[in-house]
Every structure is written in structure tokens, then in C-alpha cells.
Amino acid sequence: MKNRRGSQISPGYRINPKAGRKRSIRDYDYLKILAGDSRVMLSYLGIPAGAKVKAIQNEFKQVESRRADLVVEVIENGLRYIVHAEFQSSSDPDMGWRMVMYYWLIRQHVGPGIEIRQQVVFAGSDEPVGWQVMLRDDRFVHDWPTTDMRQLDAGPFLTSENFSDNLFAILCRNGADPDTIRKLADKASRLRRGARAKTFAKLAHVAGLRGLGEIAMAEASRIMPSDELLREPFFKYFGKEIAEKSKIEAVMIMLSMIGPDIPQDISDAVRQADEATLNSMIGHSKTAQSFDEFRKAIGLTDQPR
């Protein structure tokens, strides 16, 4: 699946064709929600740990409705200022103009005399490290600070007790790891029933930005019964067929960590397995140290190698 500039995005979940255009995992942008709850992310946006932070209006209606991703008021040692951040999963040639528009809309809301600090956070993977947001238009010249999640250390996000922080770790340097997805899925599984599905939806969205959405989807469908899973709009759109496909892909991804060339008999067994067998295979693929060990676990010991 490709975006409008032709660059690859992943994973390519396509859902609810009757609704018109086909949606992708990026239509569920949880990053703007997670950011306001992530103290580690706020610190990377220049907000000290001891500062008082309050969300303010981020939806503006002029000629057309616009919603900024993150707009917070910060009070730090008596100094009051506004932090505005936009999260991008792909580059936008008009991003500079968008930032100018948001600046004007925020200024209209907060009034004069308060500093507005803006920056752009890149959470995607299809642009070179070091990309910039700038605007050059006759006499108007401006650059915006940018933060590339791929250059941040995953450690502070993972060690936090805040689950929103933990999710951002997936986007960081060395954070896009199947084992990290599984550990976060295990942590989410211990939440109360009413909160689990929404939390897994956030996990699947963020993991999808690093091509690991299949593993998160498979863990969600393994841990939660269908009736609970499908109450969450994110999973309701994808439906059971996509969830089963995700389980297959998750097993294949984990098997590829044993070795790059998965034997044909194992590949066939995975792709032909029913739901209960796939759930079992997910567990075995996590623990198997060799293809022979996986064969034995799923009863393929007498099959051709």
C-alpha cells in the first residue's frame, strides 16, 4: 500500500469497502492522544518534568474545521507558554503552511503576549533521518524544530510505568522489536476488560507504523474473545478475517527469527491451520529454538523436511 507520494506504508490493512474509500491503520491516529499522556514524550518536546501542563482547545473552525495534534499550556517557574506539536507518519510538502495556519489559529485563541513553541515529530519510517520542515516563500522564511522518533532512545519510554510512554518506545531507535510488542501485549492483557480492547487498538496502530501491526493484532485476538475485541471500532473495521490473517503473519514473522528460510511443510501447516491451532502456534513460535522443535510441538515430526 502506498501513500499519495508513492512511498511505502505498512501494514496495509484494508477495511470496510462499503464505506467508500479503503482505510488503513493510519486512519486511527492514536499518537496525538498518547502524547498528552506521555511525560517522557512531553520532555522531548521541551517541557520539564516539574512543569504544570494543561491541555487547551485544539480544534478550530474557520473556513473549514482543523484539529491540531497536541496543544498544551505550560507553566514553568512562573513562565507561561504554549507547546504545539504535530505528529507526522509521512512528509507533507505543505507542512510549513499548515504550521503557519495552526500558529494563527492558536494565537487567535490564546491572545497576545504568550509564547507559542511549535515543532513537528516524525513517527514514520519512509523518510531519511534528518528531514526538515521549512517554508520559503518570497520574504517569508521559517524553519520548525523537528524530532525524529527513530533517533530517540527507547529506554526511558520502556522503563516508565505509564503505558503511553511504553507505546512510544516502539517508534524509537531499537524499539521496533517483536518481543517488545509481545511484552506490551502481556501488560495490556492485565487491564480491566473494558479498557483492554482500546489499549490493544493503540498498540496495533503504533506497531503498524513500524511494520509490526500483524503481531499486535494476533496478540489481541489471542488474548481477547471476539465479542470483546469487536466492540472496539478499530478491530470492528478489520474484522475476523483480517485478525486471522494477522495471526498467520505473526507466526511467520516469529519463525523467521529462527531462520530466514522457513521449511515448506511448516509454512503450509501454518497457513492451513484453524483458529485454535494458530493460537497454539503463536505460543510455540515464541519459545521454539529450532524448526525441528517447532515441528515436534505442532505434531509435524513425521512430515518431510
* pLDDT tens per residue, range 26-67: 445 677 778 878 889 889 888 888 888 888 766 655 545 567
Residue 17 — very low, low, confident or very high, per pLDDT cuts 50/70/90?
Answer: very low
Residues 71 and 42: their CA atoms lie apart, in Å, by: 11
Average pLDDT over residues 78-88: 92
Task: Please tell me the predicted confidence (pLDDT) of residue 3.
Answer: 32
* Range scoring the smallest mean pLDDT among 9-23, 26-40, 163-177, 278-292: 9-23
Give residue-wise pLDDT tens across range 121-173.
Answer: 998 887 767 677 888 887 888 889 999 999 999 999 999 999 999 999 999 99
Neighbouring C-beta atoms of residue 153, cutoff 10 Å: 13
Q: Going along the chain, which residue ranges are E strands? A: 52-55, 59-61, 65-67, 70-76, 79-88, 115-122, 133-137, 140-144, 146-148
Neighbouring C-beta atoms of residue 202, cutoff 10 Å: 21
Please name every residue paired with 76 in a beta bridge, in sequence order, or none if there are none. 79
Contact 200, 165 (CB under 8 A): no
Q: Tally the C-alpha atoms within 13 A of residue 264's C-alpha that lie toward its C-beta.
A: 2
Task: Please tell me the predicted confidence (pLDDT) of residue 60.
Answer: 57
Q: Biggest alpha carbon distance in the chain?
A: 77
Please name every residue paired with 147 in a beta bridge, in sequence order, or none if there are none. 121
Please name every residue paired with 73 in a beta bridge, in sequence order, or none if there are none. 54, 82
Q: Tally the C-alpha atoms within 13 A of residue 29's C-alpha that lie toward its C-beta.
A: 15
Residues in the chain: 305
Residue 4 — very low, low, confident or very high, per pLDDT cuts 50/70/90?
Answer: very low
Task: Please tell me the predicted confidence (pLDDT) of residue 25.
Answer: 47
- Span 38-151 CATH architecture: 3-Layer(aba) Sandwich (3.40)
Torsion 27-19-216-246 (CA) sign: negative
Amino acid identity for residue 235 in this structure: F
**Percentage, residues of the chain above pLDDT 70:** 81
Higher-pLDDT residue of 201, 245: 201
Amino acid identity for residue 81 in this structure: Y
CA dihedral 237, 69, 32, 212 (to 10 degrees): 60
Neighbouring C-beta atoms of residue 51, cutoff 10 Å: 17
Residues 157 and 40: their CA atoms lie apart, in Å, by: 6
Alpha helices in 25-149 (DSSP H): 31-37, 39-44, 95-110
* Range scoring the smallest mean pLDDT among 6-20, 63-77, 113-127, 249-263: 6-20
191 has a pLDDT exceeding 50: yes
Contact 145, 130 (CB under 8 A): no
Q: Where in the chain is the domain with CATH 3.40.1350?
A: 38-151
Strand 146-148 to 115-122 pairing: parallel
What strands, in cross-sheet order, belong to the sheet with 115-122? 52-55, 70-76, 79-88, 115-122, 146-148
Q: What is the mean pLDDT of the chain?
A: 80
Give residue-wise pLDDT tens across range 256-265.
Answer: 888 888 999 9
Task: Using DSSP, state whether 67 is helix, strand or coil.
Answer: strand
Residues 223 and 279: their CA atoms lie apart, in Å, by: 9
Residue 238 — very low, low, confident or very high, per pLDDT cuts 50/70/90?
Answer: low
